[in-house]
């Protein structure tokens, strides 16, 4: 546990901790401004060139396995979120610098803050399983089935809840801190500042969920029990205060900007995809854009000289400019609460009414017309069956394929073949199936969730005997 401070240090001192360029898992210390290419720029580059980031190219943003060109994937979504995040970070830092007498810490510029948020945004969905949120629900649902219960009963409450409340956010931190290998151990070894901004939920599943309640209404968390020590190390490096709500940590202030950037894309870009897929009309979306811009047009009919795409692009640009300004104003106005770790809600909750209304209307419209559209529901049912097929096949290896499973009956031919498919993944990450069933389960989940939508679909089809099916 971190010690409770009797008096808060100055804002500049707090920011010097929060913008720490020390790399998690590395003993060598770096200066943030040793060259034009800062440590934070190196974070961004490491992410761009990582295998897990490339896999986002065929992972679901909203619409699984769509064949229509121009619809967003997790990769294009992440790139757009990172672009908005950079603007938010730079503008917020400039405003904070002007508001504080002593400004930002020595050697840290607004551009550095911008690239910290940009890199964190680039990684914000890197742990998502195939098929997006539908994939998360499928994994949780599988572990709630009767068959795995005998195994789960032998796990600790922390370990069991990681699976019953499975979270792509926690998988993302595991990937960054452990799985995407530096030549030595320690994951990607990103700076603590970037990882802090990445962590929307810097706490364990048991911090935000009651282990004794049913696990159908789970709360988000950002770290599996397997990476608890890395979370403690990160929080100590950044001097994150303990949360007032639970035993986890308060968010890094820049995580609020990441969340805002994600919400802006959700409110604007995802609705545009809805038009392109004939789920929404131009009028429905344009009305919300005008709300976010702060105007009340007499009509939202399409201008005669502009296409739908051109009109939406124009409205989107104006809406984004206003949202970036409004969100960064809220960031500065609430900087004391952000530094103390006491701010409640998102930054949008502290913006003016028209912005709040516009964001809420966008989310409501998406829920009603996109997430419950029959074509999306059918694809989500397919995604659920697909992941259940993979889990049914591979997960028993967690308790039958260990190195010392001498008391277990011999592995079947099918299990031996499945282990051969899994083995390259284990070898790459220098792991074996051991007597620790919890870690075996996580290693298999690393393998399955690392697939993109198309890889998962093809393998599930092949395991069911449908050879040669291609999507």
- Note the pLDDT tens digit of each residue in 70-79: 677 889 899 9
Mean pLDDT in residue range 133-148: 93
Dihedral pair phi/psi, residue 223, rounded to 5°: -150, 125
In terms of phi and psi (left: phi > 0; alpha: psi -120 to 50; beta: otherwise), the region of 73 is beta
Strand partners, 60: 73
CATH architecture of the domain covering 255-374: Orthogonal Bundle (1.10)
| Percent with pLDDT over 70 in the chain | 89
Q: How confident is the model at residue 17 (pLDDT cuts 50, 70, 90)?
A: very high
Q: How confident is the model at residue 376 (pLDDT cuts 50, 70, 90)?
A: confident
> Residue 297: how many CB atoms within 10 A of its CB?
11
- Tell me: the pLDDT tens digits for 231-289? 999 999 999 999 988 889 999 999 999 999 999 988 888 888 888 888 899 889 988 99
Query: What is the domain class of 12-142+166-252 according to CATH?
Result: mainly alpha
Residue 372: strand, helix, or coil: coil
Token duo for residue 318 = 């104006």
Token duo for residue 420 = 């051969």
Residue bearing the bigger pLDDT, 120 or 299: 120
In contact, 347 and 264? CB cutoff 8 Å = no
The residues, ordered by sequence, that sit 6+ positions from 129 with a Cβ below 8 Å of its Cβ are: 135, 136, 138, 139, 168, 171, 387, 448, 449
Q: How far apart are CA 4 and CA 41, in angstroms?
A: 33
> Residue 427: how many CB atoms within 10 A of its CB?
10
Taking CA atoms, 366 is separated from 62, 143, 284, 450, in Å, by 10, 29, 11, 27
The domain locations on the chain are 12-142+166-252, 255-374, 376-463
In terms of phi and psi (left: phi > 0; alpha: psi -120 to 50; beta: otherwise), the region of 213 is beta
Dihedral pair phi/psi, residue 354, rounded to 5°: -65, -35
- Tell me: the pLDDT tens digits for 42-90? 999 999 999 999 999 888 766 666 666 667 788 989 999 999 999 999 9
- Tell me: the pLDDT tens digits for 168-201? 999 999 999 999 876 667 899 999 999 999 999 9
Query: Does the reported pTM lie above 0.85?
Result: yes
Q: How many residues does the chain have?
A: 471
Q: Within 27-131, where are the H helices? A: 39-48, 51-55, 74-99, 110-123
């Amino acid at each position: 546990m971190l010690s409770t401070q009797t008096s808060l240090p100055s804002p500049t001192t707090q920011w010097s901790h929060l913008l720490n360029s020390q790399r998690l898992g590395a003993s060598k210390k770096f200066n943030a401004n040793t060259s034009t290419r800062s440590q934070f720029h190196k974070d961004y580059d490491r992410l761009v060139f990582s295998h897990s980031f490339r896999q986002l190219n065929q992972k679901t943003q909203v619409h699984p396995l769509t064949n229509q060109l121009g619809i967003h994937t997790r990769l294009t979504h992440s790139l757009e979120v990172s672009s908005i995040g950079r603007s938010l970070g730079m503008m917020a830092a400039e405003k904070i610098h002007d508001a504080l007498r002593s400004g930002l810490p020595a050697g840290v510029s607004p551009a550095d803050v911008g690239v910290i948020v940009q890199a964190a945004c680039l990684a914000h969905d890197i742990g998502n399983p195939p098929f997006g949120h539908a994939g998360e629900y499928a994994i949780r649902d599988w572990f709630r089935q009767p068959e795995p219960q005998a195994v789960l009963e032998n796990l600790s409450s922390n370990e069991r809840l990681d699976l019953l409340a499975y979270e792509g956010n926690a998988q993302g931190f595991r990937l960054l801190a452990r799985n995407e290998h530096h030549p030595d151990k320690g994951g990607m070894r990103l700076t603590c500042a970037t990882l802090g901004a990445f962590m929307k939920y810097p706490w364990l599943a048991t911090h935000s969920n009651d282990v004794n309640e049913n696990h159908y209404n789970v709360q988000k968390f950002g770290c599996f029990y397997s990476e608890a020590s890395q979370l403690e190390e990160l929080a100590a490096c950044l001097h994150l205060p303990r949360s007032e709500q639970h035993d986890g940590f308060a968010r890094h202030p820049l995580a609020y900007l990441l969340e805002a950037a994600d919400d802006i894309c959700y409110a604007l870009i995802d609705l545009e995809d809805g038009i392109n897929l004939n789920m929404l009309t131009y009028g429905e979306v344009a009305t919300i854009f005008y709300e976010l811009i702060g105007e009340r047009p007499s009509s939202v009919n399409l201008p005669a000289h502009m296409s739908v795409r051109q009109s939406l692009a124009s409205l989107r640009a104006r809406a984004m400019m206003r949202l970036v300004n409004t969100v960064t104003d809220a960031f500065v106005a609430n900087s004391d609460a952000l530094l103390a770790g006491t701010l409640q809600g998102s930054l949008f909750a502290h913006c003016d009414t028209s912005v709040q209304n516009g964001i809420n209307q966008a989310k409501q419209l998406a829920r009603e017309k996109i997430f419950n559209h029959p074509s999306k529901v059918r694809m989500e049912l397919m995604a659920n069956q697909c992941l259940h097929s993979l889990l049914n096949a591979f997960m028993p290896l967690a308790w039958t394929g260990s190195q010392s499973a001498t008391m277990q009956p011999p592995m079947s031919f099918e299990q031996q073949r499945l282990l051969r498919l899994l083995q390259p993944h284990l070898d790459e990450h220098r792991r074996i199936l051991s007597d620790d069933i919890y870690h075996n389960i996580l290693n298999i989940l690393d393998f399955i969730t690392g697939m993109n939508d198309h890889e998962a679909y093809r393998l599930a089809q092949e395991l069911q005997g449908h050879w040669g099916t291609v999507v």
